[in-house]
Homo-oligomer: A and B are copies of this chain.
Amino acid sequence: MSMKAAKRKKLEATGWKVGNAADFLGLSKEEVAYLELKLKLATQLKNLRLKRHLTQSDFAKRIDSSQSRVAKMETGDRSVSIDLLVKSLFALGVTSKDIGKAITQTKSNAA
């Protein structure tokens, strides 16, 4: 799988409908950077939840949300903000340092 295809797959997972390569390339650098950052936080959240052996429903209760919203958080859905992801990570006891480190990660060494 090419680098470009891998990236595209990730972006599609976030809710972006990428009809074709041209549309994909139509995304600006800023948009791609934003989506990638969001996906990093989403992944960090999911990994942490799994490490704690919590279901999405368990975790939803803890942050006064719902299972469906947690699912959307973890897939980086269009409808979830970075604010929500950050707040959720803090609720799991993650530190700013941890978040900063996760953001700094490149694809090759992502958690």
Q: Flag whether A82 is at the interface (Cβ < 8 A).
A: yes
A80-106 toward B: CB 8 Å interface, digit per residue (1/0)? 011100110011000111011111110
Please name all residues of chain B whose beta carbon is closer than 8 Å to the beta carbon of A71 when the two chains form the complex: none
| With known contacts A37-B86, A81-B81, A102–B100 Cβ distance under 8 A | yes
Q: Could you list some 10 contacts between A and B, CB below 8 A?
A: A37-B86, A37-B96, A81-B81, A81-B83, A82-B83, A82-B86, A96-B104, A100-B105, A103-B103, A104-B104
A86–B90 alpha-carbon span in the complex (Å):
18
- Within the complex, the shortest CB–CB distance from A102 to chain B, in Å, comes to 7
Q: Flag whether A5 is at the interface (Cβ < 8 A).
A: no
On whether the beta carbons of A91 and B30 are closer than 8 Å, the reply is yes
4 tightest Cβ-Cβ pairs between the two chains A and B: A100-B104, A100-B103, A30-B90, A100-B100
Q: Flag whether A16 is at the interface (Cβ < 8 A).
A: no
Please name all residues of chain B whose beta carbon is closer than 8 Å to the beta carbon of A40 when the two chains form the complex: 96
